[in-house]
Structure 1
Amino acid sequence: MRNRPSKSDLFKGRHFEQAIIILCLRWYLRYKLSYRDLVEIMAERDLSIAHTTILRWVQRYAPEFDKRWSPFSFQAGTSWRVNETYVRIRGRWAYLYRAVDASGKTIRFRLDPRGNVASAKAFFRKAVRFRHRSPETITLDIYAASHRAVRELQEQGWLPDLTKLRRREAAEAR
């Protein structure tokens, strides 16, 4: 397991205090504020910050905050809906695997150039590991590789045998 940098090491050498950086990031990520809105809010507090500085903070710290906070952000429901689609991103085709719970919250997604059983298994393993628990029900579309991947993961012990596997028909998918 990789050691994460401590909070003080994470902000070492920054011009602004870590409390200001965290406050700007929290407001940007939680509320739909633009960088320029945050500049105005900070100016009201007698802090002169450029919008590009906040942009750099978001690029630098948002992935780290996501890694640290996302396991605690919400508990995914016990019923997952999983679908796969083929999308074009920057001129290249890729398979998009996506799992959402019953309330529509995204559990996990994965882009993969190959849409095979190994890719589907990697997606499910990562989703279960990320949420720290297995779903009770998985609803899949007609993509055969996902059905096979779930069966193999149940045989290997990654998913409990009690996990119900349902198939969504093509007419329901529309």
Structure 2
Amino acid sequence: MKPISFKRHRFPADVIRHAVWLYYRFTLSFRDVEELLAQRGIEVSYETVRCWTLKFGPQIAANLRRRRCSPTGRWRLDEMYVRIGGQKMWLWRAVDDEGEVLDVLVQKRRNKHAALKLLRKLLKNQGIHPETITTDKLPSYGAAVRDLGLKAVHRPGGMRENNRVENSHLAIRRRERKQQKFKSQGSAQRFLATHGPIYNTFNLDPHLIRRPTLRQFRAEAHRTWDAATAAA
């Protein structure tokens, strides 16, 4: 894990870390983060917060990925429609059966080439062979898994079989509305690639566990965050 350098910044590292955490952890705008910091007596412009998230967000996300345990081999893939800069695009998303976000890819097409790109990226970055790949009935998935020799583990089904990844889109929809839509394909990809690991760290499913267990998991999540954001 690489320590993060906060040198040549006017504000202390703790302020920067907290601002980045607020923006990615909750459905907040840059101006919302500015207001929350101002309430604590820290005068920071929303443009400064934006620069912090662009600079430090990807570094923190990379450190969180390195610390994360390996996901399961039961993958669930889905794609959803988004409009970016007035253009229709598709957000391809993969999670495991526990809701862990594996990867997110913003693409212009909803075809075999796009499905292949997502699957190849998953196979390269996850480092494990999938046990099952559950998708909807989009033919592009079937063509892609055949090309990669994964037809034996492919499980095409309806929305009910793929509820886990369908529900995982909700957090992205909330962010899309808060940001008044993504502004470009590149900025959407950068934001979602950073948002995923942070979402995984703090997505504790509190409605499924008892309060003592939740406190334990929450403390562990914050320890992981502290380690990933340690200053050089």
TM-score, scaled relative to structure 2: 0.55
Change (3 A) 1:75 1:30: farther
Match 1:50 to one of 26, 44, 54: 44
1:7 aligns with 2:42: no
Equivalent pairs counted in the alignment come to: 157
Q: Is the 8 A contact 2:20 2:52 kept in 1?
A: yes
TM-score (structure 1 length as normaliser):
0.70
| Structure 2 unaligned blocks of 5 or more | 164-232
Deviation at 1:99, TM superposition (A): 1.5
- Bigger CA drift: 110-119 or 30-39? 30-39
- Which amino acid letter does the alignment assign opposite residue 49 of structure 1? E
Preserved CA contact (<8 Å) 1:81 1:101: yes
Once the two structures are superposed, residues 14-37 of structure 1 have per-residue CA deviations (whole angstroms, 9 ceiling, x without a partner) of: 112334423443455446774122
Deviation string, structure 1 residues 122-164 (Cα, Å, up to 9, x no partner): 111112333332321101211112112112222xxxx6x8x61
CA 1:37–1:127 in 2, change beyond 3 Å: closer, same or farther?
same
For residues 62 and 113 of structure 1, the distance between their equivalents in structure 2, rounded to whole angstroms, comes to 25
Kindly name which structure, 1 or 2, has the bigger radius of gyration based on alpha carbons: 1
Matching residue of 1:39: 38
Aligned-residue RMSD, C-alpha: 3.2
In structure 1, runs of 5+ residues without a counterpart are none
The residue identity in structure 2 corresponding to 1:50 is V
**Structure 1 residues 39 and 127: alpha-carbon distance in aligned structure 2, compared to 1, 3 A threshold:** farther
Contact 2:96/2:102 (8 A) holds in 1:
yes
Q: 3-state DSSP class of the match of 1:7? A: coil
Matches within 5 A, 1:82-121: 82-121=77-116
Q: More strand by proportion, 1 or 2?
A: 1
> Hey, which of these two has a bigger chunk of helix by percent?
2
Larger relative contact order (Cα-Cα within 8 Å, sequence gap ≥ 6): 2
